[in-house]
Amino acid sequence: MATTYDLFINNERVRTENQEYFPAINPYTREEWASIPQASTAQVADAIAAARHAYDTVWSKTSGYDRAKLLHRLADILDANAERMAIMETTDNGKVIRETYSQMGFAARAYRFFAGCADKIFGDTIPLDQRNVFDFTRREPVGVAVLITAWNSPMGLLSNKLAPALAAGNCVVIKPSEHASVTTLEFANFIKEAGFPPGVVNVVTGDYRAGQALLTSGRVDRVSFTGSPAVGRQIASDAGRALVPVTLELGGKSPNIIFDDAELDRAVVGALAGIFAATGQTCIAGSRLLVQRGVYKQVSERLVERARKIKLGNPLDKSTEMGTAANEPQFKRILGSIDNAVKEGATLTCGGKAATGENLAKGFFIEPTIFTDVHNSMTLAQEEVFGPVLSIIPFDTEEEAISIANDTKYGLASGVWTTNLSRALRMSRAIHAGTVWVNTYRAASVMAPFGGFKDSGYGKERGVIALEEFLQTKNVMIDFSDEERDPFAIKV
């Protein structure tokens, strides 16, 4: 029987008499397993008002030390419920349980990391030309922030935003993707259990209508969004009209580059993990594998051999290596991209269709798919597929690898596989991407900044720098001189 959820506003579960709901579909069984509320414009306004009231009356007056204690409690509660939350997230989006469980731990670590930052938000003392003026800066929260997350990693993506937002002293309204809302609604219970004051964290769910109501309210101070570039542009436009700053973490078409001097065993594993982990449904997927021509045939053959052995199945089974597409629209988009790549002339060497077989019949399964003889000008190499589809592109020289790597509108992540330290440093400088991994791929740390260039967005998440997205600087001048001044002269 499907569980019915309600909105979370002012630390209370909220519904109206005629509340609209929509189904949450398990992508493995294609069955409805939860019922999610569609927030109305009035409910969105209530959530913003609750956040504003909490900020003005309570949260802006709460010390960093006390904010830190609450964040630590929140992390403890998430850890205690990690297995249950992982099962829910896997049921909601089809990602394998090993990864969703790991992401719960990653999210808890983020809340602890930023708890450690909450009482260390310092301003500066600035020596001026005027000797009798004391000048200093204050770092203050922006106020009310809107946090919009994607369906591929709801808890992990939320922690990237919520942890620094709360540590910096802001109140928030969260809107998860309509395709994966359950864990965010469950997480709201932890907010109340941890002891956060009413209104500090609010959760509204629904489709684009709820998002538009948030962005056009004229009553928020910051927006942080993870999703597609198309939606990111619309959000930036809507927010820009109200002069609301935005952090955008968008798509990617990341190059993963294997040189002929690389340790190929490690590089092949890294290439597999870079594209087939999370069923390729990750913005940092290494979907363009650039391989130096001397090892191109060897690497391609080894990847095809290993990809054919990837175990598909129930995402809740710990032995499953690759789960489903997260929802039916994404399932169809991935298959459409594969068909188009064949028409463009790329050579299909592995997979290429919906996966069938025992325990796969109902799920949105797609075979691990590899294309060789891909040219970087092909749509397959330029547009984000967001699925288990790998393009293998040959190159000859380091200069050519750099040219191909940067020949994209995206700039989120990249990988370099080489045993040559000088080359690694040259490549890390030359690649236009927010992250460069060397001899690893898809690694993450809450301490390390994350964010993209170009169409992959702007602003940073994770790391101490993420606090800057949720802070503003105030300058204070105190004149302690006894001199009389000309009231019409600028005091310099």
Told to judge if 117 belongs to the known catalytic residues of this protein, a careful annotator would answer no
Q: Shortest CA distance to 25 belongs to which of 149, 151, 203, 155?
A: 151
Q: Are strands 3-4 and 246-249 parallel, antiparallel or unpaired?
A: unpaired
Task: Kindly give the interhelix angle for 64-80 and 97-115, rounded to the nearest 10 degrees.
Answer: 160
Q: Which helix (H) or strand (E) holds 183?
A: helix 182-194
Q: Shortest CA distance to 36 belongs to which of 152, 148, 183?
A: 183
Which candidate in 89, 171, 178, 283 is catalytic?
Answer: 283
Provide the Cα torsion 40, 46, 49, 55; round to 10°: -110
Q: How many CB atoms lie within 10 A of CB 466?
A: 28
Told to judge if 350 belongs to the known catalytic residues of this protein, a careful annotator would answer no
224-to-174, 179, 281, 308 alpha-carbon distances in Å: 10, 18, 20, 39
Q: Shortest CA distance to 444 belongs to which of 268, 278, 303?
A: 278
Residue 325: alpha-carbon gap to chain centroid? 17
> CA–CA separation, 338 vs 369, rounded Å?
8
No. of H helices and E strands in the chain?
A: 14, 23
238 in Cβ contact with 212 (< 8 Å) = yes
What is the residue whose two structure tokens read 């188009």? 340
> CA–CA separation, 175 vs 342, rounded Å?
37
Q: Show the beta-strand stretches assigned E in 142-243.
A: 144-148, 171-175, 201-203, 222-226
User: Which pairs with CB-CB distance under 8 Å and at least 24 residues apart come from 488-492?
Assistant: 491/130, 491/133, 492/129, 492/130
335-to-112, 277, 340, 387, 446 alpha-carbon distances in Å: 40, 18, 9, 9, 34
- What are the phi and psi torsion angles at 212 (to 5°)? -65, -40
Name the DSSP class of 349. E
Which candidate in 89, 249, 367, 461 is catalytic?
Answer: 249
Q: Which residues participate in catalysis according to the annotation?
A: 249, 283
